[in-house]
């Protein structure tokens, strides 16, 4: 089949690769000049399937309202909110009910474990070399933090995830550079999870896809998907649509706009987050792998010779407007745990401060499958865990497009669930 993939973020790249493995003739259209230049560019890189969970959880609305106005609140609202954002918040609120949460979480867990297996398979099979470190720790500052994570740990137990609750001394043995002056209770340690550079992986897999014959058209914006002719797209600046046998929408946040004229209403909003990436000053003072400060919801990751600190969730605002206080929170958390780990911009180091837009659906799981329109498939809405979910999402969609059942149960990942 001749297949067009729209978007070369991590989801478009994994999808294009898997379709090429199945022998299809694939063309990827990407408006930027390279792969993984938008949300897949500088995310935290955490691959922790047990922690891939919906943001719509019981008790979350009250918790967010209580934290909303505190200086280092993990979730912030940018006023004024648009009608679409308000509608999204309402749908998110409805998805916080226990039964929806349990179903969404179970689905995400299935996809996340499947994805991690596929990531490992691809990395080993193709001998891909990218920055990565094994192990993930959720740091608990106090007894209260520990109590708050207990329901989540019960779910990890039920899902058979390997983890250990360890005290501060044991944490310091695993991460010897942790600030000796920062007192804390302990951590949840997940030895099988870890961190890896999403963008590097995307660029490597893109090369592998090219080797299998995938053609990439960069600096090429899809203006719209044709309504009148199935599986046809119009490229901005071209007069006639291009025709394919199938199209896959992997345009991240932009997918909702592209699908709306076709009558497909996807309730997706941008949930903005930030990262700073700085060169390591002294390896002995730097983290060895990935840690999550549970109180501030900030991840600190070791990515090769750099440390990346990522977090914050903002609804409203724009990608261009960076909120200074959110970046300050990242520095605060880094300083609390690893002071002296990185070189600073004011001393001439190249420190990258980045804002990204998570393509977020209100209930949690992405949409992977047919659109209901002939020739149009969807792989979108991966929210805060698109890297962790990418390899499984690409493989599962390729299976569905081939008319084969996917290797995991895909119930709850279809567009139908959004009503
Ligand atoms: C601060 C932060 C931290 C994160 N941390 C993690 C983490 O630790 N682990 C994890 O798993 N996930 C994490 N994520 C989430 C993850 O980064 C996203 O889920 C993932 O990158 C989404 O990938 P995507 O391919 O769907 O979107 P994108 O990477 O945005 O790709 C979509 C592509 O489509 C292209 N496109 C759009 N419209 C068009 C058009 N009309 N024509 C042509 N091309 C088009 C865009 O240019 C873009 O390249 C984080 C996100 C943020 C913001």
Distance separating alpha carbons of residues 124 and 328, to the nearest angstrom:
38
Using most ligand atoms within 8 A of CB, pick from 36, 251, 253 the residue to mutate for ligand 1. Answer: 251
Question: Which of 41-45, 48-52, 172-176, 206-210 has the weakest average pLDDT?
Answer: 48-52
pLDDT-derived band at 227 (thresholds 50, 70, 90) equals confident
Using most ligand atoms within 8 A of CB, pick from 13, 16, 40 the residue to mutate for ligand 1. Answer: 40
What would the pLDDT profile of 263-283 be if each residue is shown by its tens digit? 999 999 999 999 999 999 999
What would the pLDDT profile of 158-203 be if each residue is shown by its tens digit? 989 999 999 999 999 999 999 999 999 999 999 999 999 999 999 9
Torsion sign (Cα): 64, 51, 302, 205? negative
Listed in order, strand segments (DSSP E) in 294-365 are 298-303, 306-315, 352-360
User: Given 3-state DSSP classes, what are the helix, strand and coil percentages for the chain, each rounded to the nearest 5?
Assistant: 35, 25, 40
Pairing of strands 290-293, 46-47: unpaired
Q: Count Cβ atoms below 10 Å from residue 215 Cβ, excluding itself.
A: 12
What would the pLDDT profile of 309-351 be if each residue is shown by its tens digit? 999 999 999 999 999 999 999 999 999 999 989 988 777 778 9
Distance separating alpha carbons of residues 201 and 195, to the nearest angstrom:
12
Residue 315, pLDDT score = 94
Distance separating alpha carbons of residues 222 and 40, to the nearest angstrom:
19
Task: Calculate the average pLDDT of the chain.
Answer: 94
Q: Can you count the helices (H) and strands (E) in the chain?
A: 10, 19
Q: Which are the contacts of 55, defined by CB distance < 8 A and separation ≥ 6?
A: 92, 271, 313, 360, 364, 383, 384
Longest CA span, the chain = 66
Q: Output the CA angle 376-382-223, nearest 5 degrees.
A: 45
Phi, psi of 13 (to 5 degrees): -70, -45
User: Which value, in Å, is the radius of gyration of the alpha carbons in the chain?
Assistant: 21
* Ligand 1 neighbourhood includes 307 CB (under 6 angstroms): no
What would the pLDDT profile of 129-138 be if each residue is shown by its tens digit? 999 999 999 9
């Amino acid at each position: 089949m001749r297949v067009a993939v729209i978007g070369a973020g991590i989801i478009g790249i994994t999808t294009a690769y898997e379709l090429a493995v199945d022998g299809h003739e694939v063309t990827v259209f990407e408006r930027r000049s390279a792969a993984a230049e938008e949300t897949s560019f500088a995310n935290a890189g955490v691959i922790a399937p047990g922690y891939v969970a919906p943001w719509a959880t019981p008790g979350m609305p009250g918790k967010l309202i209580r934290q909303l106005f505190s200086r280092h609140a993990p979730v912030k609202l940018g006023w004024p909110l648009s009608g679409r954002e308000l509608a999204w918040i309402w749908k998110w609120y409805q998805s916080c009910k226990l039964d929806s949460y349990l179903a969404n979480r179970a689905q995400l867990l299935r996809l996340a474990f499947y994805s991690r297996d596929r990531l490992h398979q691809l990395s080993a099979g193709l001998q891909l070399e990218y920055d990565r470190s094994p192990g993930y720790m959720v740091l608990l500052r106090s007894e209260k933090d520990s109590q708050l994570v207990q329901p989540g740990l019960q779910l990890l137990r039920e899902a058979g995830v390997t983890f250990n609750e360890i005290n501060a001394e044991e944490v310091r043995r695993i991460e010897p550079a942790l600030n000796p002056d920062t007192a804390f209770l302990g951590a949840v340690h997940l030895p099988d999870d870890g961190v890896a550079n999403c963008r590097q992986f995307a660029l490597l897999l893109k090369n592998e896809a090219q080797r299998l014959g995938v053609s990439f058209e960069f600096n090429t914006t899809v203006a719209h998907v044709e309504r009148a002719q199935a599986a046809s797209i119009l490229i901005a600046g071209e007069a006639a649509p291009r025709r394919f046998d199938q199209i896959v929408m992997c345009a991240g946040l932009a997918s909702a706009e592209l699908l709306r004229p076709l009558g497909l209403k996807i309730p997706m909003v941008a949930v903005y987050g930030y990262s700073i990436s700085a060169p390591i000053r002294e390896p002995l003072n730097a983290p060895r792998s990935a840690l999550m400060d549970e109180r501030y919801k900030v991840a600190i990751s070791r990515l090769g010779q750099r440390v990346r600190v990522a977090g914050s969730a903002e609804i409203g605002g724009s990608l261009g407007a960076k909120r200074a206080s959110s970046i300050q929170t990242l520095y605060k958390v880094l300083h609390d745990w690893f002071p002296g780990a990185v070189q600073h911009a004011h001393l001439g180091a190249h420190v990258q401060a980045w804002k990204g837009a998570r393509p977020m659906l209100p209930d949690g799981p992405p949409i992977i499958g047919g659109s209901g329109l002939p020739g149009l498939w969807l792989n979108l809405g991966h929210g805060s865990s698109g890297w962790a979910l990418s390899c499984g999402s690409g493989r599962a969609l390729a299976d569905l497009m081939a008319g084969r059942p996917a290797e995991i149960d895909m119930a709850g990942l279809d567009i139908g669930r959004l009503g």
